[in-house]
Amino acid sequence: MKKSVYSLCGMCAVRCPLRAEVEGDEVTWLEGNPHILGGALCAKGSAGIARYRDDERPHGPLIREGERGEGRWRQVSWDEAITYVTDKLKAIQKKYGKESVMVTSRGGPFQNQYKTFCHAIGSPNYTNHDCTCGRNTHHASKSLYGLGRKGLAYDYKNARHLVLFGRNILTSLKVAEASAVVEMLRRGGKITAVDVRVTPTSGKANRFFLVRPGTDYALALGMVNEMLKQKAYDQKFIKKYVKDFSKLQSFVKPYTAAWAAKECGVDAATIKAFVTDIKQDMPRVIFHPGWNLARYKDSFYVSRMLHIMNILMGNIEVEGGQFFPKSPADCGKKGLRNVDCPKPDIERADGCGSTYPHLDKGPGLEHLLLPPMKTGKPYPIKALISNRHDLMASLPDKEQLLDYLNHCELLVSMDALWGEFTWYCDVVLPESTFLERSNQLVTQKGLKPRFAIRQQAVSPRYDTKPSWEIYKMLADKMGVGEYFPYETIEDYWNWQLEPTGYSIEDFQEKGFVELTDEPVWYDRDKLDGKFKTPSGKIEIISKMLEDAGIESLKPYEPPQAPEKGTFRLVYGRPAWLAHNQSTNNPILSQLTPGNRNNIWINREVAESLGIRNGDWVEVKSAGEYGGPLQAFVTEYIHPEAVYTDHGFGKEVPVQSRAYNKGVSDAKLMTGLLDVWDRAGGAVALCESFVTLSPCEPPADA
Amino acid sequence: MSKYIVTHDVNSCIGCRACEVHCKEKNDSPPGANYCKIITVGPYERQGIPRFDFVYMSCFHCEKPWCVDACPTGAMQRREKDGIVFVDQGSCVGCKACIAACPWGVPQWNADTGKVSKCDLCKDRIDEGLRPACVSKCVTGCLEFTTPSEASESRRQHFAEQMLRVQG
Ligand code: SF4
Ligand code: SF4
Ligand code: SF4
């Protein structure tokens, strides 16, 4: 008998809704939730079945036997593993203080569990991977609207013009978003793409600006200057909602289109024509403010300027523009209850919210919690618990990272897969894969907000558990079990649903509960109170930033030019990989030739180095790390840059498909763990330089 | 040509290769074998802008299939009721004659079993009134499972509308 199980994908951070067909105890078919996605699913999502069937993952709780990273483990019972971890935590807290424990994750809708645990045991130091991802965009949004990164969303389908600065929206894809953008194109909408190389997204653009790496801010300033000149902005909207518009006018005066052209390489006439064009399309113009914008030293200001261009378009709360994602309260409904524990009254070790008052103390900044492991300042961090987050793959410069982690007395990994962090840690508490586990219910805000469910489709193949259960066990042993008031997932769901009036049966038919029949829009003329800045207006000059001694409008500084013979390393990903969590997948590992990344090199540069398309080149960092990659030679990458896919070069011997295949971009980023943006908080992952030289192919190629 | 055809709207395809994975997952095709495949063309320059194009390649389920004619054992066959061309794994001896005979090299080699396998339009799904895996889960809906006459009809319609838009 076939049965349908509705759930949420877990193959990347998007968590698209899906439907699984289950026969016996096997998933035989997986597709996008037909009620939301019409069945559509991306390559990674489809390979979710291969993930749970894969045996190259931890089979049960493990305690390290040999040295860290040696790969000698003792398989133990859950009780032994949990006791081991909690005994260690207690001893460390006794010696160094309760705040010496750090919990990290990849973020997402379940992170309140991890945070609750961290706070409940007395540490404020909960963090996530966002310093390598969305922090700049988040803080830029906060500085203008008083709202976080997700405080506004985008109605792509109805847009007339979508402007993408480096956002490869059709490849680093979310299923609903990518299909909405394609629908926009079908309806005659246009894309302007800005990037240092051509991508499948710019391949569909009406305009493509190949810019010099690190000059996005110059181009954005030139555009704003020209928008003001051509009066391509919504004067009424600005008058009503925007504070300090005149400061913007005087600030951008020197940054003409002609000036920008010299910096970024896009000619002035093209910038002007672009502005004339979007003026016709206002307000249905969307400037994407950046997704993974942990890129350059000034990426925060790039994001700020992109947000400002949206504001100039007056595209807020309009069809084809931005909208406020609505919550249950906007539909007259009560929200889900979630586990929570107030933050202990101790300053964070990363200084977020204190030394850096403008940086959110919610997740703080992961990279700033590492030095205290070594320096003991402001106080020592000595234990680290990581949830499905491979620090070695996401943070730059593994050597430096290890220098910090080696001062930690306990490293715990809770992950369904192997990764370099998991391989290196002291205790592995293996999570079940997403098809083998349920999770807490989540709220998905939007024009039509809903509650959604991830439900277990099959029994765990190995001795693994869902995170809600692992945290419950840890909390019980730490004496803080009352923060996790459930025994089973059904208890948990019922407890969450209690205030809402819904029951779990309401999720069975479609996998979600819709809180409204019609999309909810606010009255665009009555947005007062929606912007959560100190002034209640959109702040061009941000009080939050100025109070912290940080400029709201930063004068442009040109990027460092690569020294002769070196190239700026930029990274991205293909549509079938969600970084290192996909490269060992039984199916996804077949999609890239040899399961190795390649390196994009500009044609003229390659010719001058005697490198032909398909040749092997040694790519070397400024430190010790490097390795051979095959060259992809093209004129469509800027000569100062080389590009590679993220997530390769993994060094976990039990991952036979990915072991030592390709080169890790993160490990090539020598020194970047300390290069971060004081204004936006993120590290700057495109600020490293590599050298290239022809070499022999690797022995197994 | 079988009763059916899979059409591909190149303009809406984003080259995400989800269709390949949907196919692999559904049919458990061996490593290196792709019953359907997205061929990437580019980047190249068209009208001053660098382009990527993505072309969906699968089996054409020919009316007079070269592969069937070439097969000495009758393993490669054409389903009477709808013309779907498929391999009966039991009778395939792995001689690879079909791979050589097909003008597009469509039949795929399985090194593990020493046999050939290929796209059968997910005939088990079709028999249940469903669409092939690649089509039904394509990210952008640019693949369509249809019949040749419907495909021709909608193509003409589309062309006419486009022409009027250009003139209009
Ligand atoms: S984008 Fe793909 S991998 Fe990510 S959640 Fe959606 S279907 Fe899954
Ligand atoms: S394998 Fe080739 S010859 Fe045979 S039906 Fe398909 S396309 Fe035609
Ligand atoms: S799934 Fe659809 S959009 Fe993606 S490559 Fe295949 S045909 Fe193109």
Alpha carbon distance A191, A161 (integer Å):
6
What share of chain B in percent tops pLDDT 70?
Answer: 97
pLDDT at B1: 59
The response to whether residue A293 sits with its C-beta less than 6 Å from ligand 1 reads no
Calculate the average pLDDT of chain A: 97
For the beta carbon of residue A341, count every other beta carbon within 10 angstroms: 19
Determine the residue among A587, A600, A637 to mutate to test chain B binding: the one whose Cβ has the most chain B Cβ atoms within 10 Å: A587
Helix/strand/coil percentages in chain B, nearest 5 = 30, 25, 45
Determine the residue among B27, B139, B142, B166 to mutate to test chain A binding: the one whose Cβ has the most chain A Cβ atoms within 10 Å: B139
Residue B168 has pLDDT above 80, yes or no: no
Residue-wise pLDDT for A13-48, tens only, equals 999 999 999 999 999 999 999 999 999 999 999 999
SS (H, E, C) A613-659: CCCEEEEECCCCCEEEEEEEEECCECCCEEEEECCCCECCCCCCCCE
Residue B150 has pLDDT above 90, yes or no: no
Amino acid identity, position A652: V
Looking at ligand 3, which residue's alpha carbon is closest to its atom 2? B138
Interface contact A43-B18, CB threshold 8 A: yes
Alpha carbon distance A391, A371 (integer Å):
14
Alpha carbon distance B163, B98 (integer Å):
42
Average pLDDT over residues A436-456: 98
pLDDT category, B162, cuts 50, 70, 90? confident
Alpha carbon distance A695, A680 (integer Å):
40
Q: Tell me if A161 sits within 8 A of A313, measured CB to CB.
A: no
pLDDT category, A373, cuts 50, 70, 90? very high
Average pLDDT over residues B34-39: 97
Distance A581 CA to ligand 1 centre (A): 12
Query: Which ipTM score applies to this complex?
Result: 0.96
Q: Please, what's the b/e burial string for A415-439 (b: 16 or more CB within 10 A of its CB; e: otherwise)?
A: bbbbbbbbbbbbbbbbbbbbbbbbb
Q: Using a CB-CB distance cutoff of 8 angstroms, which residues of chain B are in contact with residue A31?
A: 136-137
Nearest CA in chain B to A46: B22
Say which residue the tokens 């305690």 belong to: A63
Average pLDDT over residues B136-141: 98
Among B151, B147, B137, B129, CA closest to B61: B147
Say which residue the tokens 């971060």 belong to: A676
pLDDT at A514: 96
pLDDT at B158: 81
Residue A588 has pLDDT above 60, yes or no: yes
Residue-wise pLDDT for A41-91, tens only, equals 999 999 999 999 999 999 999 999 999 999 999 999 999 999 999 999 999
Residue-wise pLDDT for A163-192, tens only, equals 999 999 999 999 999 999 999 999 999 999
Residue-wise pLDDT for B88-131, tens only, equals 999 999 999 999 999 999 999 999 999 999 999 999 999 999 99
φ, ψ dihedrals at B112, nearest 5°: -70, -45
Q: Please, what's the b/e burial string for A85-112 (b: 16 or more CB within 10 A of its CB; e: otherwise)?
A: bbebbeebbeebbbbbbbbbbbbbbbbb
What share of chain A in percent tops pLDDT 70?
Answer: 100
The ligand that comes nearest to the alpha carbon of residue A170 is 3
pLDDT at A482: 97
Distance B104 CA to ligand 2 centre (A): 7
φ, ψ dihedrals at A427, nearest 5°: -135, 130
Among A483, A14, A80, A50, CA closest to A292: A14
Residue A694 has pLDDT above 90, yes or no: yes
Among A32, A12, A19, A57, CA closest to A586: A57
Alpha carbon distance B93, A605 (integer Å):
50
Distances (CA, A) of B114 to B30, B108, B109, B117: 11, 11, 7, 10
Q: Using a CB-CB distance cutoff of 8 angstroms, which residues of chain A are in contact with residue B35?
A: none
pTM beyond 0.80: the answer is yes
Peptide bond into A124 cis (omega under 30): no
The ligand that comes nearest to the alpha carbon of residue B12 is 3
pLDDT at A277: 98
The response to whether residue A15 sits with its C-beta less than 6 Å from ligand 1 reads yes
Alpha carbon distance A564, B50 (integer Å):
28
Average pLDDT over residues A308-337: 98
Amino acid identity, position A75: Q
The ligand that comes nearest to the alpha carbon of residue B70 is 2
Q: Tell me if A590 sits within 8 A of B24, measured CB to CB.
A: yes
